Amino acid sequence: MSPSVDPRTGEELPAIAPDTTEAEIDALCDRATRVGAELARLGRHGRARMLESMADALEQRRDRIVETADRETALGTGRLGGELSRTAYQLRLFAEVLREGSYLEAVVDHAGPSPMGPRPDVRRILRPIGTVAVFGASNFPLAFSVPGGDTASALAAGCAVVAKAHPAHPATSVLAHEALAAGAAGVGLDGAPVSLVFGVDAGSTLVRHASVQAVGFTGSLAVGRLLADAAAARPSPIPFYGELGALNAVVVLPGAAASRPEQIAEGLVASFTLGVGQFCTKPGLVLVPEGDGGSRLVGELASRVAASSPGVMLGPDIARRFAERAAAITSQPGVSVLASSSRDADVRSSSGRPVVVRAEAGALRGVVLEECFGPLLVVASYDGPEQLASLLDLVGPGLTATVHGEPAEAAGADRVLEVLAGRVGRVVWNGYPTGVAVCWAMHHGGPYPATTSSLHTSVGATAIRRWLRPVAYQDVPDALLPEELREQPVPEATVPRRVDGVLVVPG
């Protein structure tokens, strides 16, 4: 069975569903293959309407979904209401992506002479990869779960989805699944394009199932690596797009530390304690300059953390792992606790106590430079550009890196940004990394272990690219080509495309 726990009280909530059997997964995957053909027949514009209908269905069920998610995660109705709005917006963004059409990367090369002799007519387009397995994340029961970005982008691509419900929020997963099914039915789709499975064994079975052609995963490094290895070990390996987590660094340049230490400290504390530190983009390490400005910034960090309150984490296991990891970090030679929340935690809840620690340069290794999922921030100091450069060499891959600098420092910060851009998927200037904008330009990824493929994103319009594969058509009669590749496509099938090397944009 799949029970969940109220993190505030530790009370076990009623079980939602039995674990999905292998035979049931076979049936669901077979159905997904058939529904995939239906999604293809809907076409781009039909799938766009379906995604918008799904967004409407989620919003129509807002109160019940948010209430249920709060009971299972303790994330708060305000945060979860915003997350539902974000999730609906993701669906609508991919409707825009479908109607615009450039994601297809349509290319037409007409037959003609070439330096190597006559060239055939060749036309290329991206097509759906097939059924996609999606694993939801504990910390985002909507935006990175059953109705989240992986599901939205896969459906937009024309791929049916089999989603693995996260054990931390099974009831929320069921309600979200019902909303997606209602949205699909609202546009007349014959069969739900998203199926739901439960249980640890169901997840590994799903990754190995012959009908599944790609996997989207957000979760821990340990579980993600096991599933990625299983995907690679299949008789026919499949792509596994996993966001696994890593340490995200913040660099404070001397001018910024001198001019606004209180402001930066306030923003850092708000960022690393947001959602009780349970964000994959949470800043985990901040490098501050030696001197008065850096000392004031560190002092502000310590005083604000001391005045903060413990928060309720997603569940007892996560709270326990955070406490163990925090203890492992603070026990390292050269690491000392600067401050931790001085307020009492509710002993009934899965609480996490904010803590900020100082690490000497020689201590920046091992567990100190690994992700700590929870409200912990490591502070280290540097004395001049050369030591900063040497410390940056120690910082491993991440999802984000942030630099705080004054306008006069921008010209000299190019080397810092260049180093960081080589190690992360998103560089932030004078901001904070928590909060990932859902937009066309966003890249949410990074070198391993941040993700299993730094070439792709799980947020933003180009997330759709993971679920598509290229097909070239050589000398195929016009009537047999995909509509977007035909010589004179109908208006609904007209998309940006490159014709004989020239980019042609409709209108």
Could you tell me the pTM of the whole model?
0.96
Task: From the candidates 243, 300, 371, 484, give the one annotated as an active-site residue.
Answer: 243
Task: From the candidates 29, 83, 159, 280, give the one annotated as an active-site residue.
Answer: 280
Helix axes 22-60, 62-73, angle to 10 degrees: 120
Average pLDDT along the chain: 96
Best CA proximity match to 50, nearest among 172, 170, 163, 147 = 147
Report domain extents, the chain.
22-244+453-467, 248-429
> Which CATH homologous superfamily contains domain 248-429?
Aldehyde Dehydrogenase; Chain A, domain 2 (3.40.309.10)
Catalytic residue list contains 243:
yes
| Residue 374, number of CB atoms within 10 A of its CB | 26
Whole-number pLDDT of residue 485? 98
Residue by residue, DSSP assigns 249-308 as EEEE-HHHHHH-HHHHHHHHHHHHHGGGG--TT-EEEEEEESSHHHHHHHHHHHHHHHT-
Whole-number pLDDT of residue 1? 53
Best CA proximity match to 380, nearest among 413, 352, 409, 356 = 356
311 sits in which H/E element: strand 311-312
Catalytic residue list contains 280:
yes
Q: What is the pLDDT of residues 171-225, one digit of tens each?
A: 999 999 999 999 999 999 988 999 999 999 999 999 999 999 999 999 999 999 9
Matching residue, tokens 């495309």: 497
In contact, 4 and 167? CB cutoff 8 Å: yes
Under DSSP, the state recorded for 7 is T
98 sits in which H/E element: helix 77-100
199 sits in which H/E element: none
Whole-number pLDDT of residue 217? 98
Residue 111 contacts by C-beta under 8 Å, 6 or more apart in sequence? 118, 119, 120, 121, 475
Structure tokens at 155: 């459906």
Strand partners, 212: 131
Q: What is the pLDDT of residues 255-298, one digit of tens each?
A: 999 999 999 999 999 999 999 999 999 999 999 999 999 999 99
Residue ranges of the chain whose pLDDT lies below 50: none
CATH class in words for 22-244+453-467? alpha beta
3-state secondary structure of 351: strand
